[in-house]
Structure 1
Amino acid sequence: MYQAGGTIKDLLTKVEQHDYILPAIQREFVWKPEQICQLFDSLLQGYPFGTFLFWKIKSTHQREYQFYDFMRHYHQRDRVHCEKLDLIGEQDRVAVLDGQQRMTALNIGLRGSYSWKTQGKWWSSPDAFIERRLYLNLLVAGEVEGGARYDFRFLSEEEAARQDHEHHWFLVSRIMAIDIDELTDELDDIELDKESRKIARNTLRLLHRTIHLQDKISYYEESEQSLEKVLNIFIRMNSGGTALSYSDLLLSIAVAQWSKLDAREEIHKLVDELNQIGDGFNFSKDLVLKAGLMLCDIGSVGFKVENFSKENMAKLEENWEPIRKALQLAVNLLASFGFNGYNLGADSALLPIAYYLFRRELGDSYLTRSEYAADKQDLRGWLIRSVLKQSGIWGSGLDTLLTTLRSKIKEHGQHGFPLTEINTAMTERGKSLRFEEEELQTLVELDYGNRRTFALLSLLFPGHDFSRHFHVDHIFPKGRFTRAQLKKAGISDEGQIDEWCQMANCLPNLQLLEGSLNNEKREKLPHEWYAMMWPDPAARANHLQLQAIHTLPESLLGFAEFYQERRETLLGRLRHVLQTPQV
């Protein structure tokens, strides 16, 4: 049975007093500023606010679980995780199972702030993240855009100070504490015409009624203290909305069952650390949690409730430190291969590598000692092949594949990465890493923006220290392939211009170049740039040979011949590398 829960002001007072709290099964706050603005616009228009699902937790059970506070001051870089609560007192509390995003949006809009990265600023810059609070333009009460009638925006203090005859920005959080008559009296001190003053007063009073006087909250309260039942309710309630990660639910079980460490805090911290390695990655807590299952030899690696038993979670906690080190080593290894969050393309490929490093108890010396060089090359070759086949390898049947690979590594990986056994097992599962001619014809024309292009070039041209920030670069500069430039060079046929513009972005016109060299190259034609970088003819010829460049025209007019010649050379290399079994 649904119950009336009072006003928005009542709701946020209970949030402030920690009467309403967040259980660990809740995911992070994910709403964007514009979604918060839409929520406040809907409230003022009188649209239904939706109901909440609450879990009433007896004080005697609160120590069994971990709870978190609602986000108030969101910061895209420094404050994206909710703070852990250490509850004191003997009163019962209410955990929010459904409605967290709406309640947090209200809390930020009416009590807090939202800081996101300013475009064009570096993430590390202290002024990249400006604190913005929610404001309402009191002079607008009609159609704004997209069905909105009220102009809510997150603004900095400086932006909000820019008032004119069409904009009077009111700080929405002021409605919480100051008397409404005092607020409307302030409008008498502003130079407004009669109609604008009327609109401003009406809008302000409507906002006050919406927050302080109208019973907007309704909820259903579950009083059962069993976590299993609560999880089932939570899954049912969230199955129709934003896709709910099972890790968000199962992580809560780990939180409840770890005795020494805070599972949620440890996993979030590790995700942040992994994503800061090298040029940056985009690993998720789902991947880290799955890594825990894989490295601890738990079940079938899947997010199933039976895999999160008390015994298994104790095993995960006991092994957490070596798991953390193995994952960090694995990601550092990927970074040394030149991979990052953009060009990896298949995050799950990390897991067999991490398991292998974990089983062999390998440390940081694996990255530098020469005795491991051949082993790392085997790993690198296998990884690149799997990334080039990413849709067929790391798509359907992932948990079964990971379980199979884990078994082969456990059985045959005591002294080196077991390539033969792994490739055989993958072939038997219909996930062969051998490439057919049709696939090679597609690969040889991968374009500049494809996430697999770096991996393919690094396989074709392995003689680099890829930890030194190599980039995919055009041989004939992209800037030369505009209609104006091509016509100036003597290409007049429109069809040929379109074809050349497309060819300029494909693999035969691409190379790997270190970042500093890439900046020096700019718009120079390749014959000019190579002559400048390698003035000795013999050294230049040797370098061009290594780059699969046999002839280098001195004019843009020779581009098509250059392209076809290099295409055939690269295709030959691909046949040799990818159609030869990796042993």
Structure 2
Amino acid sequence: MRVNSGGTVLSKSDLLFSTIISHWDKARDEIDKLLAEINKIGEGYKFTNDFVMRTCLYLLDMSVTLKVETFKRDSVLKIKDNWAAISTSVKDTVHLLNEFGFNSNNIISYVAITPIVYYKYKGGAFDTGSKSELRKYIVMAQVKQIFGAATNSALANIREALKISPSDSFKMSYLTNVRFTGDRSLRYTADEIDALFDTFGIGAYTFMLLSLLYPNLKYSQKGFHQDHMHPHTGFEEEKIKDLVLPDGIVIDDDRKVEWCRRRNTLANLQLLEGRENESKNAMPLVDWLKIPENSDNVKYLPTFVSCELAHFEEFMEKRQKLMSDALKAILL
């Protein structure tokens, strides 16, 4: 460290990495190899040295504080001796994330992934039931921003809960009593679920929630996009300025602003395979549904509601109810 102060400034991660290498000369090659492999899985990831180092400490039930004192000789040699099992667990977990449709475009917190690696490392199975619960965990941990503050204590609390849970299966109920900084938890209330529909615009969070609502899509085989049911371009001023509402009144400016905001929220979004989304593009919803394949396969489409844009408010209200009920069945 004294030498470093007079030369090229190294990051904290570089310094820690050099400490590991001083005790395990092949560490750089092994970690670089692992990162190269996992970051090219599926549509790609952005895992870093920090993720790997913290995960190694976590799996071996050591302190996850990333400081030089943590990587003493005995700790590094323990990582070296268990490296094959550690790297296998990491790779298996990233393949699972790819199966769920998660990648560098929609993962908010890579730290949230570490407990899944721990579960796998300790003998946990990625069977159908556990996959469903693990998907819920990764979505809830990120949407609720569990790792936004006090990361190390959040990780430690989850690890303690997993230690006393059955190691060969995973259920969210194992973690629902864990408390985090700010009195947060991995538990939802009905009101919190309803609030999600106005909390997030189109992006990583809405993709995660949609992945719960569309669990049977083959995410690892095709790229799925968030698609607007009523197309985004349908709300442009030239198209909407003279729109007559069901009550016979022409839409006013305040309503235009509100509709433009709501078009990007969860109740107006669905997941479509990339090519399908491109073909739909600006097609009005009412026309898109005239295609039998679309009308047969669309999910959470309210009945007895017109899909004309003039009925947008009723459509959103009824579709939100369908989606909210489905999320409550999954999360409560």
What interval of TM-score do these two structures reach, taking the shorter chain for normalisation?
0.7 to 0.9
The aligned counterpart of 1:404 is 157
What is residue 76 of structure 2 aligned with on the other side?
313
Letter in 2 for 1:341: S
1:497 aligns with 2:251: no
Distance 1:267 1:334 in 2: 20
Distance 2:88 2:24 in 1: 19
Cα deviation for residue 516 of structure 1 reads: 1.9
Q: Which residue does 2:233 correspond to in 1?
A: 479
The answer to whether the 8 A contact 2:51-2:111 is kept is: yes
Against the structure 1 CA distance between its residues 430 and 446, is the aligned structure 2 distance closer, same or farther, given a 3 Å change threshold?
A: closer
Aligned equivalent of 1:158: none
Letter in 2 for 1:464: L
Gaps of 5+ in 2: 245-249
Give the aligned residue type for 1:252. S
CA contact (8 A) 1:292 1:316 kept: yes
CA distance in 1, matches of 2:29, 2:137: 33
Amino acid at match of 1:484: E
Other-structure match for 1:121 = none
**Distance of 2:269 and 2:177 partners within structure 1:** 33
2:133 corresponds to = 378
- What percent identity do the matched residue pairs reach? 32
User: Which one of the candidate residues 35, 54, 70 is aligned to 1:271?
Assistant: 35
- CA deviations on 1:405-448 (whole Å, 9 max, x unpaired) are 22333343432125433322347994422223553343112444
Matched, 1:331 2:73: no
- 2:119: which partner in 1? 356
* Partner AA of 1:472 in structure 2: Q
1:99-132 CA deviation, whole Å, 9 max, x = no partner?
53xxxxxxxxxxxxxxxxxxxxxxxxxxxxxxxx
1:324 counterpart SS class: helix
284 and 403 in structure 1: CA distance in 2 versus 1, 3 angstrom threshold: same
Residues in 2 aligned to 1:464 and 1:402: alpha-carbon distance in whole angstroms: 30
CA distance in 2 between counterparts of 1:476 and 1:414 reads 45
One-letter amino acid of the structure 1 residue matched with residue 266 of structure 2: L
Contact 2:130 2:171 (8 Å CA) reproduced: no
Would the alpha carbon gap of residues 414 and 554 (structure 1) be closer, same or farther in structure 2, given more than 3 Å must change?
closer
For 2:300, the equivalent position in structure 1 comes to: 547
User: 5+ unaligned residues in a row in structure 1: which ranges?
Assistant: 1-24, 26-52, 56-95, 101-237, 239-243, 367-371
Q: Does residue 291 of the first structure (1) align with residue 46 of the second (2)?
A: no
Give the distance between the partners of 1:429 and 1:506, measured in 2 at CA. 27
Following the alignment from structure 1 to structure 2, what is the Cα–Cα distance between the partners of residues 493 and 348?
A: 46
Q: Secondary structure, in 3 states, of the residue corresponding to 2:178? A: helix
Kindly report which structure 2 residues correspond to 1:161-172, keeping only aligned pairs within 5 A, or say none: none
1:531/1:248 CA distance change after superposition, 3 Å: same
Distance 2:11 2:144 in 1: 26
Match of 1:345 in 2: 108
In the TM superposition, 1:4-403 aligns within 5 A as 55=3, 97-100=5-8, 245-259=11-25, 261=26, 263-298=27-62, 300-360=63-123, 366=126, 372-390=127-145, 393-403=146-156
Contact kept? 1:356, 1:413, Cα under 8 Å: no
Instruction: Summarize deviations over 1:80-109 as a string: whole Å, max 9, x none.
Output: xxxxxxxxxxxxxxxx54453xxxxxxxxx
Q: What are the Cα deviations for residues 148-202 of structure 1, in whole angstroms up to 9, with x where unaligned? A: xxxxxxxxxxxxxxxxxxxxxxxxxxxxxxxxxxxxxxxxxxxxxxxxxxxxxxx
Amino acid aligned to 2:16:
L
Counterpart of 1:377, as a letter, is S
> Secondary structure of 2:303's partner?
coil
Kindly provide the amino acid, as one letter, of the partner of residue 486 in structure 1. Answer: I
CA distance in structure 2 between the partners assigned to 1:498 and 1:428 by the alignment: 37
Aligned position for 1:432: 185
- Contact 1:287-1:348 within 8 A present in 2 as well: yes
Tell whether the 8 Å contact from 1:476 to 1:526 is kept in structure 2 after alignment: yes
Shift of the 426–345 alpha-carbon distance from structure 1 to 2, 3 Å rule, reads same
Q: What's the CA shift string for 1:529-569, capped at 9, x where partnerless?
A: 1221428xxxx3x634x324324535321222212222233
- The residue type paired with residue 253 of structure 1 is T
Match of 1:445 in 2: 198
Higher RCO, 1 or 2 (CA under 8 Å, sep at least 6)?
A: 2
Amino acid of the structure 1 residue aligned with 2:123: R
Q: Which amino acid aligns with 2:29?
A: E
* Residue 469 of structure 1 pairs with residue 232 of structure 2: no
Inter-partner Cα distance in structure 2 for 1:374 and 1:442: 28
- Could you state the TM-score of these two structures normalised by the residue count of structure 1? 0.52
2:22 and 2:149 map into 1 onto residues whose CA distance is 31
What SS does structure 1 have at the residue aligned with 2:270? strand
Inter-partner Cα distance in structure 2 for 1:437 and 1:419: 17
Q: CA separation in 2, counterparts of 1:98 and 1:326?
A: 40
Match of 1:517 in 2: 276
Larger radius of gyration: 1
Query: How far apart are the structure 1 equivalents of 2:330 and 2:132?
Result: 13
CA distance in 2, matches of 1:280, 1:549: 36
Which deviations, in whole Å up to 9, do the C-alpha atoms of 1:282-320 show, x marking residues without a partner? 22211111011112222x211133321101101111222
SS state at 1:553 partner: coil
- 8 Å CA contact 2:124–2:170 kept in 1: the answer is no
